[in-house]
Amino acid sequence: MLLPTLLTDLLFAGKERDAEIAVEEKNPAMAELTEGYAAAILKKAGLGGSLRAFADRAEALAGADCVLYAGDPQAASRFFMDRSALEGEPEEDGAKEAPRGDSPLEPLVHAENLGLTDQARVNGGLEGLLHALRAGQAVTELCDAMEEACPGALVINLGQPVARTTEIFLRRGFRCFGLGRTPLKGANGLDTLTKRLNTRTEDTKWEIAGLPGFSFLIRLEDAESGKDWLPRLKKAAREGELGRLTKRWLEWWDALAVGDVTDHAEFLPAQPDYIPEDKPEFGETVERRKERILYMNTVREQGADATEGAMAQLLLLSKAPPVRPLRLALAVLRGEDTELPAVVHRNGREMPQLSPEAVVETTLRLEKGQPEARGVRVPPALAEVMAEIDGVNRLAARAAMGDREALREYVETDPALGGLDRLYCMDVTEQLIRMHRDMLPLYAE
C-alpha cells in the first residue's frame, strides 16, 4: 500500500524530475502491474522518469541513492507458531511446514503460571526478540547486497520492529532513519487528543519524544495564545478517561503516553489489565491486497486522468498508511531545512538523558539535510525506563546479527521479562530459535 503515496510525494509534492525508481518484485504478474500502474501516474505528473520492477535484488539496488525497506518476513505465520508454543497449544494451520529441530518445543505446561502466554508480543519480551531475530536476518541479507550495489545509499526503514531493524542498518554503517507506527494516530494519538480538546493538531505546538512504540507527549499548547493544554489532558487521564494504562503510567512517570498505548505495554512487565492481542495485524490483509490490486489495475487500464482511474487513485491514497517515507528521504537528500514528526534515528544529543547511541523517536530537525539536536528532556523516572528499553532494543539488534552473548544479556535484562524465571526464559528462547532454524542461519549450529 506504500507505492501510491510514494509516487504522490515524489512527483506531485516533491516535483522530482526524471526520477528513476526500482522495485524488487519476484512475482511476474505483480511486476507487470506495478510497472503499468506507475507508468500511468508518471504520465499524469508529466515530469519524466521511470519505474522498473526487478526480480533480481542486485539489479534493483544498483547505484541507488536511497533504499526504502518495508519488509517483515513471514511475520504473521511465525508469530502464531510462537504464540501456540508459548501457550502450550497445537500449531495453527499454515505453520506446520516449518522444521522443528531435533528437540521440538514441548507444550509449556507451566506457561500460565510463569506468565509466558503474556510473552506472545510483537515488539517486546520473548516473541519480540524472536521477531527481531527473524527480521534482522532479512535486514542483514539486504545490507550485504547494498554493500556491493549501493554502499553510500540512504536507508529509510519501515521494517518492524523498527527500533531494532534501524539499529542493524546503523551498525552496518548505513545512514538510516526509520518510521514506525506513528504516535500521531491511534486511540491516544495526538490527533485524537487534540479533537478531545476541540482543537486541531495543526493549531497547536507540541513535543512528542521517546522510543519507537514508547513515546510520550511532553508539550502541547495553543499555537496562537500559548495556552498549555497538558494539564487538562492529564486531569482526564487521572480520572481514567484515557484508559487504565495511561492513568497508571501518568502516576508512575508524570508523562502522558501517546499513540496506541498497548504498544507501550509490550516493553514492560506483565500488566494486570493488559493482554497482548491474540491476532495482531501484520502488513496488508488478504482482502486489502486484493482491493489494492483491483484499484492499481484500474489506474493502469483507464489512466490516471480518466474518471475511473482518478477515483481508483483517490481510494488507494485514502487507504495508505499515514507515514510518508519519501518526504523524509527527499528532505535529507536535498539538504533541506525542515522538521519532520516521529522519526526514528540515532540519538546523539537529541535526548541528553539517554545514551548517544540510543535509537529514539522524536521530531527530526534537519539543517541542510543534517540532524540538529534539540535537547529534548522527559521526567527523570521515565528517562530511566527508556534507557532500559533502549538497551534491550540494541541488544536484540546485536543478537539478530549473530551475537550470542547479546542474546543471553537480552534475556537477563529485558524489563518485559520482569518477575519471570530468566533461566527458564533462556531455555524457552533457545527452543524457539531451534523451531525457526530455517530462517536463522546464524543460529543453525
- Lowest-pLDDT choice from 285-299, 313-327, 415-429: 313-327
Q: Average pLDDT for residues 310-335, to the nearest whole number? A: 91
Q: In this structure, what are the phi and psi dihedrals at residue 50, rounded to the nearest 5 degrees?
A: -155, 160
Q: Is the bond leading into 341 cis (omega within 30 degrees of zero)?
A: no
pLDDT at 286: 84
Q: Is 245 left (phi over 0), alpha (psi -120 to 50) or beta?
A: alpha
- Residue 389 corresponds to which amino acid? I
**Which range is least confidently modeled, 118-122, 249-253, 380-384, 411-415?**
118-122
d(CA 357, CA 323): 24
CA distance 282 to 435: 21
**What percent of the chain has pLDDT above 90?**
77
With 0-12 / 13-18 / 19 or more C-beta atoms within 10 angstroms meaning exposed / middle / buried, residue 107 is middle
Would you place residue 105 in the very low, low, confident or very high pLDDT band (cuts 50, 70, 90)? very low
CA atoms within 13 A on the CB side of 349: 4
- Of 413, 378, 437, residue with least CA distance to 255: 378
Whether residue 70 is predicted with pLDDT greater than 60 in this model: the reply is: yes
Residue with cell 503510567: 249
For 156, the grid coordinates are: 529509510
Range of 12-16, 391-395, 441-445 with top mean pLDDT: 391-395
Which residue do the cell numbers 511446514 mark? 97
Strands 204-211 and 214-222: antiparallel
**pTM value?**
0.92
SS3 state at 130: helix
Average pLDDT over residues 197-208: 95
- Domain assignments of the chain as residue spans, ordered by start: 190-259
